[in-house]
Chain A
């Protein structure tokens, strides 16, 4: 073994054996934003066999404040996040395999993209994709690490199928579309993302080196502004849980039953996003929330917001028409960023 990993090997929790095991493992990171950048950087340096980075977005100027793998040159080159991250990280560690996948993870491609994963890391910005990952991982018995940040608050939890509760045990139903704040409406400070991603990376090292006893248990919540660290013990939740996913094995997101539908509107430069369960949106509240980020107009039937060259029209049941693109994954990305899903 080269000198590269000596300090990590010296660490009692890993050692030569741990490092060897680690170097045979494949991790898939879904979402390469603030959490994903920090996580990928830490994991690539630790020397796993393969890291796949899945992200549908391109880099924007407002990402640079917290997404530590990207720079101004990447924006000028109009690089997708996954590609920019891969290029940068491959320079850090040329000995491992790093794969960029520019795609929207969805029920149609998840079986291919997550195939061979020993662990899946959540760097997404929406609940729909998280519940989809949860379905896949519970179904195939693959550990995954939930992570989420907004403002100065961050959350993380390990999900080890059949050993810990799954995401749906803790968050039974997905919050209705259009009702959750996002980083693009409520803002975020960079340190909380680094902190949560660092916890995710440490937990990933434990899982990948098979140090299950060392794992952090329960849901961790940190607020760096109010100086609070809380832990929600989840053992009891799991005992009582009648979870559709991990107890009844109904994979509602994987089977598309509860997954949103995107349709290209006939010939137009627009995508419609529909939700199987609908929502009940308060357009006035939404207008207040979105007033900070763009030009908003609304009436009883709809709300419109202009963001750059796109226009998002939202209706009270949460359905939306995104004008200015024919790309369904870009439309979904905009929806997740500004309206929330």
Chain B
């Protein structure tokens, strides 16, 4: 299988991730921070070690402000629903994943908040001026993807972060597609909340992820329960990370996440990004002047991650996906990618696009094979 669907989840994982999880579960599979015996303490230490490694990845200064979640959707919900209060206004963009759009829409439909959706340019960038113009005296949150999952364009989050800080607005970034692939520094970028998932760029397993909660943010927990901390008190502890981390964590997943992030850091984010850029560029160059294909978003590789959305003229994206899968053994992701507004902006609603996303373990030969397959499909007129 030529796997080119790394924006959905990276696959395969580094060998060390599999090994770490296997060893961890065979030797340290106790419930962390609950019992006090050796294995429980060791499991607790694994979690705290991972917390420290994550802080390195995002330049987080106080590791207690990093909360483990089960994925980016979980983190985004925790942030949005824990922060916004009745009467608040939030600004977002048309390029967002449903994780953001639906979390906001849910509150909007209940008349708790109001939302402004900012549009994008032809090549799929958000203009900070448009965000600025949307700010009202009620605006409490700006939430957007660092790189939208449909097109992979890298958004000017530094400028928008500064803008938010100047206006005393909380800035939340969905880093699902950029964590582990792009440099992110929550302080330098003025990010107040950063949501990410462990199973994409950080090369960890599914069921892991996290939310950074900056000093300016106080969240209401959207999940309450056992924390292993202050068990005698009836109310949820106020202290982070306990306040937001109730229930037994995905300890084995977190162990795998640490192995994944350590692997990313050892290879170097810059190296990984260059590799994905090289492969995406090769693909863009092969397709961009061919009239049989339509490419979406910018083709300037310095402004995007390793994601390319295309269509083959005369075929529906789902058809192209199915042919690539069964006739060529190539995995890509056709459809709307859980981002219907982005496709409306691109003019590709409701069929969507074929999204190709090479990862660290793809080679140039994988891209060559895909190019040949796409050519064969496009040539076989129907």
Contact = CB atoms under 8 A, between A and B. Distances in A.
Interface stretch (B108-116, B128-136, B319-327): B319-327
A19 interface: no
B148 interface: no
B323 to A, nearest CB: 4
A300 B327 CA distance: 10
B381 A268 contact: no
A268 B317 CA distance: 11
Given A301-B377, A319-B326, A268 B319 contact: no
Interface stretch (A98-106, A138-146, A190-198, A309-317): A309-317
Given A304-B382, A319-B326, A267 B352 contact: yes
Interface of A: 265-270, 272, 297-302, 304, 313, 315-317, 319, 321, 323
B335 A272 contact: no
A315 B322 contact: yes
Contact of A302 (B322, B334, B352): B322
A180 B334 CA distance: 30
A298 B335 contact: no
Q: For A300, A304, A316, which residue has the most chain B Cβ atoms within 10 angstroms?
A: A300
B378 to A, nearest CB: 11
A268 B380 contact: no
Interface string B325-342: 011000000111110100
20 contacts: A265-B334, A266-B336, A267-B336, A267-B350, A267-B352, A268-B351, A268-B352, A297-B382, A301-B323, A301-B327, A301-B380, A302-B319, A302-B323, A302-B382, A304-B382, A313-B319, A315-B322, A316-B326, A321-B318, A321-B319
B382 A323 contact: no
Nearest to B333: A266
B81 interface: no
A115 to B, nearest CB: 35
B162 interface: no
B350 to A, nearest CB: 6
B338 A267 contact: yes
A336 B335 CA distance: 25
User: How many B residues are at the interface, by size bracket?
Assistant: 20 to 34
Contacts of A315: 322-323, 326-327
A304 B380 CA distance: 14
Given A266-B336, A302-B322, 12 more contacts: A265-B318, A265-B335, A266-B337, A268-B351, A299-B381, A301-B319, A313-B316, A313-B318, A313-B319, A315-B326, A321-B318, A321-B322
B323 A270 contact: no
A221 B279 CA distance: 61
A268 B318 contact: yes
A186 to B, nearest CB: 26
B322 A319 contact: yes
A316 B319 contact: no
A313 B316 CA distance: 10
Q: For B336, B380, B382, which residue has the most chain A Cβ atoms within 10 angstroms?
A: B382
A93 B338 CA distance: 51
B327 A316 contact: yes
Which 10 A-B residue pairings sit nearest by Cβ, starting from the closest? Answer: A267-B336, A266-B335, A299-B380, A301-B323, A299-B382, A317-B326, A266-B336, A321-B318, A265-B335, A297-B382
A323 B337 CA distance: 17
Contacts of B319: 301-302, 313, 321
B293 to A, nearest CB: 16
Contacts of A301: 319, 323, 327, 377, 380
Q: For A266, A269, A270, A300, which residue has the most chain B Cβ atoms within 10 angstroms?
A: A266
Contacts of A270: 318
A55 B326 CA distance: 32
Given A302-B319, A316-B327, A269 B382 contact: no
Nearest to A302: B319
A136 to B, nearest CB: 31
A302 B325 CA distance: 13
